[in-house]
Amino acid sequence: MMLRRLIDLGITSLVIISVISVVKYVSFPYFLPLIASLIFNLYSRKTLNRHVLTAVAIFLTIFIAFNTTLNTLVNNLMKVIIIFISIKLLEEKRYRDYMQIITLSIFLITSSALLNINMIFLFYIITSIFLVNFLIILLTIYDNLPEYSLNREELKEIFYKTAIIPIFSIPFAILLFFIIPRTSTPLFDFINREDVAKTGFTSKIGLGGVSTIQETETIAFRAIMKEVDPSKLYWRGVVFDIYRDGSWHSSNRTNRINFTIKGGESISYEIYFEPTYDKYLITLDKPVDLKFQGTLTKTENLEFLTTNVISKKIHYNGSSILTESFLDIDSDITHSKDKKGITDSIFALAKSLKKENDTETINNILKYLKENYRYSLTDLPSGKSPVEEFLFRNKKGNCEYFASAMALLLRANDIPARLVGGFLGGYYNKNAGYYAISNKNAHVWVEALVNNRWIRLDPTPASISSFTQRDLLSLKMKFKIYLDYISFYWTKFIINYDLQTQMELAVKFTTNFKTVKIKPDKITNYTLISIILLALTSFLFIKNKRNTPSYFINKFYKILSEKGINIDPSIPIMRNIDRIDDEKLKKESKKFAEEINKMLFKDGKLEKNTLQTILKNIKRL
């Protein structure tokens, strides 16, 4: 196969990989000229005027720069790189131009890591490294022998040999990953993160909002902990205590925190949290303590908020008590007993469900909702009063409708109540010892204040098994949960490998090293062996160095320099030879280049005697 055709195919493959890595960050119109340029490059030998193309590139870059903000910096950088690649594909291409396209493609792939380093990035970067090594060898051959055509055996040999370089570099890359110092905060944390739809709960949610979260089958977070009773897996996020116009809000009060959590099972866990672009952290049931690298705000509603929005993957440790209630002796229940937004018809229904005491009233409302209403994720009630629509007309809804109805019915009966937004259940991986909780597990339940105790109430008739059993998941979701095992360890060991983890490893290594004791009589033996090995390695290195093409090329360039010829080691050897005016010297130099090229590009043996003879002849001329 002709080298030029092979190089074009390789360049096309590399560009396509780089484009796929950023396709969800750049609008489609920017890819249209790139697609046209790729087709033009593959099927046409014509080129466009370089000066015109450069002018177009400058104009478009300036236009994009004027529309760039800190939030769009990376996305606009991607657009500029795509434009540059498109233009380079249309120009006349020499060695330098191909290398520029390769460099731009690598920049495009690495720019995606500024927004989100997920596991697919590893595939992109490894594939591109193999391709780049292969292309550089082909380009070197093409620059020296442009008309050369590779047969299948030569192509396979080049491919296998170029694959060795990145394979052998992997252990070195792993070593560098562990030893290169980390910064305490990310260097590029000020730029925009991945621009995705918000998931999880915010401080305000309208009825129907939870169903939007549940439609997303992505993993919301993972929790390393022991396996517990599925019915106790209530993951707390946001407490909604203000109801207005069909929406719930969180008051986020932090002025008083005075409650006692006793009587349940104590459990510790470590959570790996996906970006939500909000400030709320998830905790299990009734949180007692939370350890997080950053400033936290703890509200009197048992909420934990970060200072900044969660725009990247984070992890934190927590401890909680698994219990259905907790004591709150002097709670400010102003919002939780507020009856605004409760219509006359809801008041009438509430009074009909009232019993002799609060506990009986609560149980009666629970029974009424579970027996008379149907759980559904579609065709949900709407309008100015969605709760009234749910209770008296539609009579079907998801968890937020059941919880909202119960909270308002309780308030109408003078029982303080509020909603808690979070997640229910999770899918336990016994091999790795963690729960994977998806956005489909988003859930809302009620907390009612009875005898100074906040009691958890869940009026939703959906079975807990629908939130915990894999058999009930869609095939797509089952596959995601299966792959999550790999993704989890990627996040744990790669994404979250920070300065603190690095310091802990360094301390552990130093401590273990100090415990190693070497007897004094063996120190001399070890030193002697080390000196012998070092001397042997140095001898072999020097000997092998004199048997390499680069050794003879440097010697050749030195002779030419002594003869007053201007040599540039960065360009191909034939271009340096073209600078020679003396025909005899040029002819002898070409013989030298042919011998070197045989070894470099045709897998010929290094003929030391032949090369030394040619160099002697050149020196005599």
Last residue of a domain, one of 471, 494, 517: 494
C-alpha to C-alpha distance for 299 and 509, rounded to whole angstroms: 40
Is 400 inside any structural domain?
no
Question: Do 214 and 160 share a structural domain?
Answer: no
Name the β-bridge partners of 290.
318
Question: Do 310 and 211 share a structural domain?
Answer: yes
Structure tokens at 597: 């090229």
Is 399 inside any structural domain?
no
- b/e per residue 75-108 (b: at least 16 CB within 10 A): bbbbbbbbbbbbbbbbbebebeebeebbebbbbb
Is 219 inside any structural domain?
yes
Structure tokens at 383: 């309008």
C-alpha to C-alpha distance for 573 and 589, rounded to whole angstroms: 10
Average pLDDT over residues 6-15: 92
Question: Do 225 and 143 share a structural domain?
Answer: no
Residue 129 has pLDDT above 60, yes or no: yes
Last residue of a domain, one of 169, 196, 213: 169
Question: In the prediction, which pLDDT does 262 show?
Answer: 67
Q: Decide which of 377 and 434 is more confident.
A: 434
How large is the greatest C-alpha to C-alpha distance in the chain, in angstroms? 118
Question: Do 139 and 32 share a structural domain?
Answer: yes
Three-class secondary structure assignment of 374-440 = EECCCCCCCCCCHHHHHHHHHCEECHHHHHHHHHHHHHHCCCCEEEEEEEECCEEECCCCEEEEEHH
C-alpha to C-alpha distance for 258 and 301, rounded to whole angstroms: 10
Name the β-bridge partners of 284.
235
Per the listing, tokens 């074009």 go with 8
Q: Decide which of 486 and 275 is more confident.
A: 275
Which H or E element spans position 243? Answer: strand 242-244
C-alpha to C-alpha distance for 77 and 74, rounded to whole angstroms: 5
Average pLDDT over residues 109-132: 84
C-alpha to C-alpha distance for 291 and 246, rounded to whole angstroms: 35
Most confident of 512-516, 572-576, 596-600, 602-606: 572-576
Which H or E element spans position 557? Answer: helix 549-562
Lowest mean pLDDT among 405-414, 466-475, 579-588: 466-475
Q: Decide which of 567 and 166 is more confident.
A: 567
Contact partners, residue 374, CB within 8 Å, separation at least 6: 395, 396, 461
Question: In the prediction, which pLDDT does 309 show?
Answer: 87
Question: Do 61 and 11 share a structural domain?
Answer: yes
Specify burial of residue 491 (Cβ count, 10 A radius: 0-12, 13-18, 19+).
buried
Question: In the prediction, which pLDDT does 222 show?
Answer: 92
* Overall domain count for the chain: 3
Is 519 inside any structural domain?
no
Question: Do 567 and 433 share a structural domain?
Answer: no
Name the β-bridge partners of 418.
447
C-alpha to C-alpha distance for 485 and 479, rounded to whole angstroms: 11
Average pLDDT over residues 481-494: 72
pTM score: 0.65
Q: Which domain holds residue 23?
A: 3-169
pLDDT one-digit tens code per residue, 519-529: 666 666 667 78
Q: Confidence class of residue 68 from pLDDT cuts 50, 70 and 90?
A: confident
Last residue of a domain, one of 433, 464, 494: 494
Is 66 inside any structural domain?
yes
* Residue in 323, 281, 277 with CA at minimum distance from that of residue 303: 281
- Cβ 239 vs Cβ 420: under 8 Å: yes
- b/e per residue 518-536 (b: at least 16 CB within 10 A): eeeeeeeeeeeeeeeeeee
Residue 263 has pLDDT above 60, yes or no: yes
Written as one string, the DSSP assignment of 595-617 is: HHHHHHHS-----HHHHHHHHHH
Q: Confidence class of residue 234 from pLDDT cuts 50, 70 and 90?
A: very high
pLDDT one-digit tens code per residue, 167-220: 877 777 777 766 666 554 555 555 554 444 445 567 777 786 666 666 677 889
Q: Tell me how crowded residue 483 is: count the other CB atoms within 10 A of its CB.
A: 12
Contact partners, residue 21, CB within 8 Å, separation at least 6: 108, 109, 112, 120, 121, 124
C-alpha to C-alpha distance for 30 and 17, rounded to whole angstroms: 16
Question: In the prediction, which pLDDT does 85 show?
Answer: 94
Question: In the prediction, which pLDDT does 318 show?
Answer: 94
**Percent of the residues in the chain that have a pLDDT greater than 90, as a whole number:** 29
Which H or E element spans position 576? Answer: helix 573-577
Question: Do 46 and 158 share a structural domain?
Answer: yes
Residue 260 has pLDDT above 90, yes or no: no
Residue 573 has pLDDT above 80, yes or no: yes
Average pLDDT over residues 20-41: 90
Question: In the prediction, which pLDDT does 335 show?
Answer: 86
Structure tokens at 534: 């070092």
Q: What is the mean pLDDT of the chain?
A: 82
Question: In the prediction, which pLDDT does 269 show?
Answer: 96
Q: Decide which of 269 and 329 is more confident.
A: 269
Question: Do 295 and 443 share a structural domain?
Answer: yes
Query: What SS3 state is found at 461?
Result: coil
Question: Do 23 and 142 share a structural domain?
Answer: yes
Is 403 inside any structural domain?
no
CA angle 282, 285, 287 (to 5 degrees): 70
End-to-end CA distance of the chain: 40
Question: Do 160 and 32 share a structural domain?
Answer: yes
357 backbone dihedrals φ, ψ, rounded to 5°: -140, 175
Is 463 inside any structural domain?
yes
pLDDT one-digit tens code per residue, 315-327: 899 999 999 888 8
C-alpha to C-alpha distance for 356 and 368, rounded to whole angstroms: 16
Question: Do 87 and 217 share a structural domain?
Answer: no
Question: Do 256 and 119 share a structural domain?
Answer: no
Question: In the prediction, which pLDDT does 533 show?
Answer: 82
Is 556 inside any structural domain?
yes
